[in-house]
Amino acid sequence: MAIHDVPKFGLLPLTAHDIADLRSDHAGEAGAVMIYAGILAISRDPEVRQFAREHQETERRHLAFFDAWLPAARRSKLLPVWKSAGWILGAFAALWGKKSVFRTIAAVETFVDRHYAEQIDSMQARPGLEDLVEVLRRFRDDELHHRDDAAERANDDRGGLWPRIIGAGSVVGVSIARRI
């Protein structure tokens, strides 16, 4: 099943909760592309730059799906905020160096893993959503790869205050994006 095989948005039996989640997914993918743009704007480290380019390309594919599939009226009205926040987070991480970049991505993707997993769990048993669930699974697998790659490069236990700050910020962002 290819991404372009997902039935049109209006043809799926989506609940208001599903739509809110999908709106937050779109906002999150837009922000993710910009996290890597912020990293690339600041970092001159070849390893960091290659990492950011590779993972940004994946996030661009995710965003392209949502841009093509999710109707404009169902998207977050705060996309400029999510893009700006993503760029600032990426740039800030890059200012602090290589480990900070990798810890930041590991923390963001840890949150994204849970976010996608909750949606998949909610939708997977519902008839008519199989193709969409498969796309979300693929996206989640990509995000898990980003998390694991970043964690391995950070070479630490991902503990500390920074991942908790990122997790809390992500919870707030998703909560707002689900509504606005």
Check: CB of residue 27 under 8 Å from CB of residue 80. no
Q: How far is CA 46 from CA 15, 43, 51, 98, in A?
A: 45, 8, 8, 10
pTM of the entire structure? 0.93
Q: Please tell me the distance from the alpha carbon of residue 115 to that of residue 139, in angstroms, as a whole number.
A: 11
Residue 124, SS3?
coil
Architecture of domain 14-179: Up-down Bundle (1.20)
* Over residues 70-90, mean pLDDT: 97
pLDDT tens per residue across span 6-45: 888 888 999 999 999 999 999 999 999 999 999 999 999 9
pLDDT tens per residue across span 144-164: 999 999 999 998 765 688 888
* pLDDT score at 157: 65
Q: For the chain, what are the domain ranges?
A: 14-179
